[in-house]
Amino acid sequence: MTTLLPDFPTRGSAVPGTVYLVGAGPGDPELLTLRALRIIAEADVLVYDNLVSQPILDQVNPHAERLYAGKERGNHAVPQDDLNLLLVKLARQNKRVVRLKGGDPYTFGRGGEEVETLKENGIPFEVVPGITAAAGVAAFAGIPLTHRNYAQACVFVTGHLKDGSMNLDWPGLARRRQTVIIYMGLHGLSHLCAQLVAHGLPPDWPAAIVQQGTTPEQRTVTGTLATLPALAEAAQLKAPTLIIVGEVVRLKDRLAWFEKG
């Protein structure tokens, strides 16, 4: 079998007693990195989120112990502080621990909080980056995040803060010549659109929302800040979703490829 990049040095196999924070990407298993695929195939124990798709879970070592730690709206299987300590406990059992997260561990994945606890307890760890939803989902929806004619900057924000609010930097987000990507914003979509208009963007500013991007269930709804909330409700979209606001959304009909088959 021909190996990819045969002369490129690798970091070797997973090491017992180490925690690996692995990004699973936005859903399509073919978007896993080579490092992620190797590490999950060698795991002794897997701690995974609800955003990890089944085709990706199918790539995990079939003999690995699996612990679900999903965080859905209003339903956290394991509180974050308890989860941090669980990773420490498992590593001290000399296991190869994989913390598998949708997207990228350090992009709204709470990876920083988990690594802080590992560091405080002297646990070796490695972070395996993944394709974050903004990059993967936008590409599969046919919406470039930047474009010389429309957007020279891109801003990622989360749709709700730690206290459940959506108290964002509205003046900073309501600017032209940039693309705003909102993670986990489905339930606050009406408020989000209204605040962007209230802080300076026109009601007819392009916006889109994508459900379960990069998977066979992907659905993209496009509209404006004035129309998108009603369109999303009519489409009965379900989480996970990604919201894209900016003039790059105008390119969707021309550049879409995935949903067209």
Of the chain, the end-to-end C-alpha distance in Å amounts to 31
What pLDDT does residue 159 have?
A: 83
**Are the C-beta atoms of residues 205 and 225 closer than 8 Å to each other?**
yes
**What token pair was written down for 47?**
């701690």
Catalytic residues: 49, 71
- For residue 172, the surrounding DSSP H or E stretch is helix 170-173
Phi, psi of 91, deg, nearest 5: -65, -35
Asked if the bond preceding 203 is cis, omega within 30° of 0, the reply is no
- Give residue 246's Cα distance to chain centre: 20
Tens of pLDDT, residue by residue over 74-99, are 555 689 999 999 999 999 999 999 99
| Distant-in-sequence, close-in-space partners of 14: CB < 8 Å, separation ≥ 6 | 20, 38, 39, 42, 43, 96, 98
- Give residue 117's Cα distance to chain centre: 22
Domains of the chain are: 19-128 (3.40.1010.10), 133-255 (3.30.950.10)
What is the pTM (predicted TM-score) of this model? 0.92
**What token pair was written down for 220?**
């993209």
**Residue 184: closest CA among 112, 242, 106, 110:** 242
CA separation for the pair 261, 257 (Å, rounded)? 7
Tens of pLDDT, residue by residue over 63-77, are 999 999 976 655 556
Tens of pLDDT, residue by residue over 155-167, are 999 987 555 568 8
**Does 7 or 104 have the greater pLDDT score?**
104
